Amino acid sequence: MKTWNMRKKKEAVSPVIATILMVAITVVLAAVLYVMVMGFGGDTETAPTASLTQDGNKLVLSISESQVNGTAGTLLIKVGTGAPTSLGFGTVATGLTFVDAGGDGKISNGDYFTRTSGTPVTITILYKSGDTNIPLAEGTI
């Protein structure tokens, strides 16, 4: 009779451990799903899309709404073989001006480059996110 009682006690340990393990696994899976859904798992930022189109003596910018509405990244301009600099309105290089067509002070569709003097230059629009520069568009004016 004594051996039967000891065996019964040993068997009762397994269901308790199994239940604890199931609860722990469920909590861990729920935490992993929460992190994935909330975006804590990594950088989900995507670069905007852009293009530069020749229109007479203008080079017109078309850019996706993600940049128009603001993102964590920054738009840069590279003129010819020069170093990239922040893109802003006004003179960007000798004889080259970036015009705010909408007059809203924001880089948006329809803003354009115009060359008033000098030889044609290649303009590259870059998107800077962290330490990475991603080329978005290139055109010559």
- Model confidence pLDDT, tens digit, residues 97-136: 999 888 888 888 889 999 888 788 899 998 887 788 889 9
> Would you say residue 14 has pLDDT above 90?
no
CA-closest candidate to residue 57, choices 104, 109, 117: 117
Tokens standing for residue 4? 């039967």
Q: Which residues pair with 78 in a beta bridge?
A: 124
Kindly list the domain boundaries of the chain, sorted by start residue: 1-42, 50-140
Mean pLDDT of the chain: 81
Please tell me the pTM assigned to this model. 0.63
